[in-house]
Chain A
Amino acid sequence: MDAHKLKLDFPILQNQPLIYLDTAASSLTPQCVIDTMNEYYTEYPVNVHRGVYQISYKATEKYTQARQTIADFINATFEETVFTRGASSALNLIATSYGLSHVQKDDEIIVSELEHHSHILPWQQVAKKTGAKLIYVPLNKEGRITVENFKRVLTDRTKVVALTYISNVMGYETPLQEIIPLAHQKGAIVSVDAAQAAPHKTIDVKKLNCDFLAFSGHKMFGPTGIGVLYGKQKLLDSIEPIEYGGDMNDNVELFDAVWKDTPYKFETGTPPIAEAIGLAEAVRYLQKLKPEAILAHEQKLKELAVKALLKLDGVTVYNPTSETGIINFNLDDVHPHDAVSFFDEDHIAMRAGHHCAQLIIKWLKVPATLRASFYAYNTEEDVKTFTDAVKKARDFFTSVGF
């Protein structure tokens, strides 16, 4: 993979200096995705599933093909692939619909301190409303979820296991391939937050055998405002929608109504049509690059960067062994919000704060952290600019009295 050549696909990387190290929040958008969405808005910008005129038929076809492309991408069926506003609303749907109807008092829901707020708060609410217990997998010294620690909290009362595939702060991969069969032996279902996995891992929901899985478009070259909920067909058939209205029903009577089959019963209102079509194009772009090649590239850059950072005094890296392109670190005694202004001046975009994952920040016992995340379009030159800037920043803050 030639990252230098790849940069040319991204309009934001032309004509301005930008070292973009915040892909874990949102990836940049390639021209082909923008073009595909523009094509919808210029050539067939109309609603789906309703009109019988030609361009509405075209919109419906493109939208339908998009779902199939995305279903194939994770080895799911068309019916198992539900469009949502993002991973957050998908994870909320699982907890609100499946959780509230299946979890009872004293049942146990296994979660972890690595979860993004969108995968912890919905289950925290389910626990509060049902009287179930939230059980946290103890993290190991590095902050990882291990199979051994998972076994220690798995019991006959476990009804739900809700874990991240890859942590958005530490970049660690959860050993789901081993955890999921253990959960199933106890009769629990497994909900997977794959928002950080989909951008650079081939996800095979059949092989993984997870029950639910969610990801967002905007972290994998796609547009904002769209995400995907995967659920096993029999589970999606058995749970209720959480939003009601147009397009999701089959027959409406005065005092009752009947829903369409999945995926449509979960998708009321005009769907994100341009976004779905854009996401399908992003999937094709991602597949052309090969997720494994992207991950290998990221990891190489991350390791180069970590090696340089570990040589610096006054810099702490919290996840030197992570297997993805995320570096979570701090300049000692410098609040990350102070530090990030320095990087911004050097046109390096990265994140400072809690990263929507306060539990792991509390686990690290720091007020907040800096996060740099590498992706396909980053180069070794980007790494050098970044690590040089870290050194300069450390020297600067020392010089002004931090």
Chain B
Amino acid sequence: MHQLENLYRQIIMDHYKNPRHKGLTDDKNYFTHHIKNPSCGDDITIQTRIENQTIKDVRHDGSGCSICCSSASVLASLMIGKDIDHAEKLTLNYLSMIMNRPFDEDLDLDDAMAYQGVKQFPARIKCATIAWKAFENTIKEWSESHE
């Protein structure tokens, strides 16, 4: 069996084909972070609205491979409604999981667990992390403005 079957899990394909929370807004209350990988063309924008320490909404748009685009949809679905400190923990945990570093398996990453297989494909780590890094930058920006 091709190893790739471990990568293209149903959850991932579902988010790729039917992305949730897709499309950007002009609303100035959203933080906007954009990351581009010029070598492969992946290009993702993540918009986040944070109120009272809570992630109220996450939007995304861009172009890229299935792993890249679906992970933005999964990210948005997971983060909406989360407390910002918890959202930060989830983000760092996800990034550790993808990069094959120790991570807390008890922290509920929900659909994002489907990306565990990515670590077997080091060349694809960038694809699976672009959206999450953009979100991580959002949290950093928010934290700096609330110090």
**CB neighbours of B10 from chain A (8 A):** 401
| Chain A residues closer than 8 Å to B41, beta-carbon distance | 337, 353-354, 361, 367-368
Residue of A nearest to B68 (CB): A337
Q: Check if B4 sits within 8 Å of A353, measured CB to CB.
A: no
CB distance from B19 to the nearest CB of A (A): 14
In this complex, what residue of A is CB-closest to B3? A345
Q: Are B40 and A353 interface neighbours, CB within 8 A?
A: yes
B127 / chain A contacts, CB cutoff of 8 Å: 337
Task: Using CB atoms, name the residue of chain B closest to A346.
Answer: B2
B7, B38, B42: the one contacting A341 at CB < 8 Å is B7
* B40 close to A342 (CB less than 8 A): no
Residues of A within 8 A of B121 (CB): 341, 344
- A400 CB–B CB distance under 8 Å: yes
- CB contacts (< 8 Å) of B2 on chain A: these are 342, 345, 396
Q: How far is the CB of B61 from chain A (nearest CB, A)?
A: 14
- CB-based nearest B residue for A339: B65
B63 proximal to A (CB < 8 A): yes
Can you pick out 24 interface pairs between chain A and chain B where the beta carbons lie within 8 Å of each other? Answer: A335-B66, A336-B65, A337-B40, A337-B41, A337-B42, A337-B64, A337-B67, A337-B68, A338-B8, A338-B65, A338-B67, A340-B123, A341-B121, A341-B123, A344-B121, A344-B123, A345-B3, A352-B40, A353-B39, A354-B39, A361-B41, A367-B63, A401-B13, A401-B17
Interface string of A346-378 (1 = CB under 8 A from B): 000000111000000100000110000000000
- B13 adjacent to A342 (CB under 8 Å): no
A402 within 8 A of B: yes
- Whether A335 and B13, one on each chain, are in contact in the complex, defined by CB atoms closer than 8 angstroms, is no
- CB of B105 within 8 Å of the partner chain: no
Q: Which residues of A contact B38 (CB under 8 A)?
A: 354
Question: Once the chains bind, are B13 and A368 in contact (CB under 8 Å)?
Answer: no
Q: Among residues 25 to 45 in chain A, which have CB atoms less than 8 Å away from a CB atom of chain B?
A: none
Q: A341 CA to B68 CA in the complex, in Å?
A: 14
